[in-house]
Amino acid sequence: MTMIEPAAYAAHEHLVRDARARPDLWRLLVGLVIVCALYLAANTVLFAIVGALIPPSQAQGFLRGTSPLATFVLLASFGFLTIGVAVAAKQMQQRSLWAILGERRLAISQFTRVLVALVVLGLALAALPPYGMGDPLTQNLAFSTWIVLLPFAAGAVLIQTSAEEILFRGYLQQSLAARFRSPLIWVGVPSALFAAGHYAPGVAGDNALLVAVWSCVFGVLAADLTARSGTLGPAIALHFFNNVISLLFISLPDTLSGLALFLLPYDMSDGGVLRQWLWVDFGSMMVCWLTARLVIRR
């Protein structure tokens, strides 16, 4: 089925064209079953090993990622998701993982340039008021410990963020674009599923819907960057930058906080201060997306 894309999304064709040889929806659905099965099976084995090595009293805290080791293991376990996508794409579409990521040199170049631009932007925003986030932050790790762990922690975040982009903006988006010409489908469906995966009322309470909407908008912006650039490089850079800030610098205490330098003085279900900062975070995300768009236009 021929897809007519907007001129701005012409580069997306480089990612989609080899998926057109096998655009059947049943292939995508079976592929997703393969991804889920491999991911769940690998994690079952991993956490069975972890459960045998740690005391039962520490199991709940480990699953929440409240220690450095727990957070590292939980983030690195997303690598199984990438492996699942690689197997599914090969078996169902005869595509390689690099076909999903995009042309290798271009993807790496775009990732690097966008990430550098976002770091510069982040430093500039940090220099502007308001200073602080209300109540004082809690020191989570000693700076000497944090700086030693930082390279390994950043690598684990890269595994996690690239895995989510490879699945949602890669395998899902490209497979749907090979079958449907409307961006409303190949942008909307993966973004909605991405939002559903971040809907956690048990953790976020009354903020759960707002967090899910935030995630959906992020998915749309990442999909836009992917379609404009022709690789997953910019979307991975945007996702990586966002998660490094929220997981390694200043984290919520609820989950995946073990590698953060500081903790916020409120949790994800806070209906007051946190909700206000979610809107600030939303504005910052839009600025980051616009910055990434400027970079990939060069």
Confidence of residue 115 (pLDDT cuts 50, 70, 90): very high
pLDDT score at 54: 84
Per-chain mean pLDDT for the chain: 90
- Angstrom distance (rounded) from CA 11 to CA 9: 5
Burial of 55 (C-beta count, 10 Å sphere; 0-12/13-18/19+): exposed
- Inform me whether the pLDDT recorded for 196 exceeds 80: yes
Q: pLDDT tens digits for 131-166?
A: 666 668 889 999 999 999 999 999 999 999 999 999
Produce one character per residue of 184-220: b if its CB has 16 or more CB atoms within 10 Å, e if not: eebbbbbbeebbeebbbeebbeebbebbbebbbbbbb
> What are the angstrom distances between the C-alpha of 133 and each of 64, 65, 122, 250?
24, 23, 16, 10
Query: What distance, in Å, lies between the first and last C-alpha atoms of the chain?
Result: 31
Q: Provide mean pLDDT across the span 81-102.
A: 96
Residue at 189: amino acid letter: V
Q: What are phi and psi of 139, to 5 degrees?
A: -70, 125
The H or E element spanning position 117 is helix 104-126
* In the block, residue with structure tokens 């809690």: 138
Partners of 250 in beta bridges: 262
Residue type, 145: T
pLDDT greater at residue 104 or residue 134? 104
Strand, helix or coil for residue 51: helix
Q: What is the DSSP letter of 130?
A: P
pLDDT of residue 57: 73
> What's the pLDDT at 265?
82
> Which residue in this structure is represented by tokens 């199984």?
80
Q: Which two three-digit tokens encode residue 36?
A: 């889920």
Residue 298 has pLDDT above 70, yes or no: no
| Confidence band, pLDDT 50/70/90 cuts, at residue 271 | low
Q: Which pLDDT score, from 0 to 100, does residue 226 have?
A: 97
pLDDT tens-digit readout, 38-77: 999 999 999 899 888 888 777 777 888 889 999 999 999 9
Are 87 and 32 within 8 A, CB to CB? no
Of 280 and 236, the structure prediction assigns the larger pLDDT to: 236
| pTM greater than 0.75 | yes
Mean pLDDT, residues 238-256:
93
- Is pLDDT at 3 greater than 60 in this prediction? no
Give the torsion through C-alpha atoms of 237, 239, 243, 244, to 10 deg.
0
Say if residue 127 is exposed, middle or buried (CB neighbours under 10 Å; 0-12, 13-18, 19+): exposed
Tens of pLDDT, residues 219-236:
999 999 999 999 999 999
In this prediction, residue 2 has a pLDDT band, given cuts at 50, 70 and 90, of very low
pLDDT at 155 (0 to 100): 97
List Cα–Cα distances, 264 to 133, 218, 276, in angstroms: 8, 22, 14
199 is written with which tokens? 């809907």
Distances in Å between the alpha carbon of 155 and those of 80, 163, 180, 209?
A: 15, 12, 35, 30
Ranked by mean pLDDT, the top range of 125-134, 231-240, 277-286 is 231-240
Provide the 3-class DSSP secondary structure of residue 262.
strand
| pLDDT band at residue 1 using 50, 70 and 90 as cut-offs | very low
